[in-house]
Structures are given as C-alpha cells and as structure tokens.
Amino acid sequence: MRKWLLLLLNLPLIAVNAQQWELKKDDGDIQVYTRELDSTKFNEYKAVLIAETTMEKALTVLTNGDSLNRWTYKTPQSKQLEKISDNEFVIWMRNDFPWPLNDRDNISRVKLKKLNNKTYQIDIDVEDSLVYQQQKNVIRMNLFKGYWRVQELNEESVLIIQQMYGDPNGALPAWIVNSIMVSFPYHSFENLKEILEN
C-alpha cells in the first residue's frame, strides 16, 4: 500500500521529465532515486520518506538553518545567515568530503510556499556568494537547485520529498560525485526521520 501511494504521488514528477528516475535504494521507509541529466555529467537525486510527525514540525526542522547540521549527512556546520521573512531565509552549509578532496560549502536562499491545504514546498536556490566569507581550503558550490515537498497524509503522518541537483565545482570527477549521490540523501533522511519521530 505504501509503495503504491509513493508511486502515485510521484507520477507527475516523473512524467514531465525526459529522463526516467531509477530507484537506487529502498529500505521500506526511505527511497532514493537518481537520474541522468542531458545538460550535465552530474546526476540529480530524489529522496522520499513517510514520517510519523506533524506538518508543522517537519517544516520547522527543514527550514531551521542553525540545526541542519544535526541531521544532514556529512555536514559539520550550518547556520542561518539572514531571515528575510517568516517564509524566506538565507542559509550557509559546509559539506565534509572524503580526503583528499576539499570540503564544499554553499549559500542558499530558501523559500517556503503553500501549494494547497495539505502540501508545502521549500524551494532551494543559489544565493549571492559574497554574503558569507569563504573558508580556507573549502570550495564554494555556485550551481545547484532543488526543493523539499511536504504533504500531510493525516494528522500524524507526512510524505517528504527532496529533489536536488548540484555541481560540486572544482576538478572533481563525475563518477565520484555520482557514486555518493545515494548515500548522502539516504543517511540524511535516516537522521531526519529519527528527529521528526522523537
């Protein structure tokens, strides 16, 4: 039943794109898909989770820039740089890449919008990199885009989808980036589920 629900909810996302999503990991609670894009050598991912939590708690956790590092995999630092409004924020994150690769960081503008009575979307776009000084030996990512979508299934359960594309910048082979394209969102969703349900 749960898998059919996820399939039905994701049909619009799949149908409008030329490239088909490929399921890479499914543990019953979390699914991670990837797909190739015609315009780049780096893949895009989509992760899906059903969590026993409220819409309010899910949105609060997803938009709290100061604590994203508590559950985002391989992200030792994060902070909210600016609160533009109750629905719009500027957030900085640092991602830990395995040695000998340089860590990456990014600055994003996050906008929360209501799609309907049961669904919210959090758009993630690149923000001006000058708003926060780049750290030594860290490469800044300046090309990424994605969103979170949170849909209330009932009063105690939500469907959470994250779809994301990013170019890590620098001389980094695509096969390395694509090889971690499943583990990063999967472990993040594992941590997110634990926080949301406790």
Residue position matching structure tokens 């860290």:
138
The DSSP letter of residue 41 is: S
**Which numeric CATH code is attached to 2-145+162-193?**
3.30.530.20
CA–CA separation, 155 vs 149, rounded Å? Answer: 17
**187 by DSSP, 3-state: which?**
helix
The model carries a pTM of 0.88
Q: What is the pLDDT along the chain (198 residues), one digit of tens a residue?
A: 455 444 445 544 443 344 899 999 999 999 999 999 888 888 999 999 999 999 999 999 999 999 999 999 999 999 999 999 999 999 999 999 888 889 999 999 999 999 999 999 999 999 987 878 889 999 999 999 999 999 999 999 999 999 999 999 887 778 878 788 899 999 999 999 999 999
Kindly state the tokens that stand for 136: 């030594």
Question: Domain-by-domain residue ranges, the chain?
Answer: 2-145+162-193
Kindly state the tokens that stand for 46: 């989509």
Inter-CA distances, 141 with 115, 154, 161, Å: 29, 37, 22
Predicted local distance difference test score (pLDDT) of residue 69: 98
Q: 100 preceded by cis ω (within 30°)?
A: yes
| Paired strand residues for 167 | 143
Predicted local distance difference test score (pLDDT) of residue 101: 85
